[in-house]
Structure formats: C-alpha cells, structure tokens
Amino acid sequence: MKAVLAIISALSVAALAPAALATEGALPKDQAITLAFTESTARCAADGGTLILPEEDPASAVDLTGDGTADDWIIFEAGAFCGPNLGFLGGSGGNAIHAVVGKSLSSWFGGSWVIQDVVFAPEGEALPSKRVLLLAVHGSVCDSYGAAPCIIASAWDGERMISYTPYLGEDDSGKN
C-alpha cells in the first residue's frame, strides 16, 4: 500500500511540471547505446571479460519528454553477455534499463517497461497529460518478494528523469 501511495505521490508532483519539456542535442542511436552500456562495459572489463551486446537491437526510439518526437531512447540490456565465460548480465531482478534523453542517462534494474500518458484531474480540472515511464521491477524494491508486482514511475522534469522511491524497511511509524 505504501508503494502505491508513493507512486501516486510521485505522479502528482510530476503532473505539475509543464507537459512537454524537450531537450537539445538528441543522441543518435549508436551514441545512446554506447552511453547506456558504458558502466556494464567497464564492469565486465574489470572482471577480465569483454562485453558482447545482445543479438536483438537493445534500443527503442521513444518520446519521454512529451514533445511529440521519438528522439529519446530506452536501452534494454537483456541478452548482453560478459565473455568469454563470465555469463549474461542481469538475473532474477531483471536487467539494466536505461533512459537516454539528450545526453542525460538514467538507469534502473527491471524486467520490462512501458510509457503511458497520464492525466490528473484534481477537483475536476484536468491538467495537461504527462508522459510517464513505468518500470516493472523486483518485488524487493517495494519491500515484498521477488515476483510481487512492483512498479516504479518516472517522468522527465526538463533536466532528468525523476521518481520517488521511499526508504524501505520502515513503516509510517518509523518502526521496522
């Protein structure tokens, strides 16, 4: 229940931002992929391996800013492999999912993602729709078990993707 309230709270704050917050300098697909895989490439090299990108195209052109152009990117690391014998990246908590808007990079671990336009109507007055990235993540993020439905909502604020995740381990009374 706390996780649901946190998502509603985050979306309410995000809804107050302007509807379309475009960025300058959208990256071409190959540069967005390079930016997104920088950390995984370094981590794999530090372990003595070489990162092999997934066979399937990891990049999806999307509109995360709400400006009407699909010049932002979601890069999904599913299928990336640290070779020659170190294994696939990711696990039961999913894989890295990266949002690239301009030169801004935001990353999460999750199993899937979807983009929705959300409209809030406080006191009957509809606010402009807000583009929201919804990420299905491991249940432990919501202080539950692995397969429990747990969603992170994130929105572009003009500079970065923002979301709210409460501190886990304490209930409203401050007790564990």
50-98 pLDDT, tens digit each: 999 988 999 999 999 999 999 999 999 999 999 887 788 888 888 999 9
Q: What is the mean pLDDT of the chain?
A: 82
Domain with 111, as residue range(s), is 2-162
* Domain count for the chain: 1
Residue 172, domain member (yes or no): no
Within the chain, what is the greatest distance between any pair of CA atoms?
A: 59
Residue 45, domain member (yes or no): yes
Residue 67, domain member (yes or no): yes
Q: How far apart are CA 77 and CA 105, in angstroms?
A: 14
Residue 21, domain member (yes or no): yes
Residue 169, domain member (yes or no): no
Residue 173, domain member (yes or no): no
The residues near 67 (Cβ < 8 Å, ≥ 6 apart) are 20, 21, 22
Residue 174, domain member (yes or no): no
Over the stretch 16-42, which tens digit does the pLDDT of each residue have? Answer: 344 444 456 899 999 999 999 999 999
Residue 137, domain member (yes or no): yes
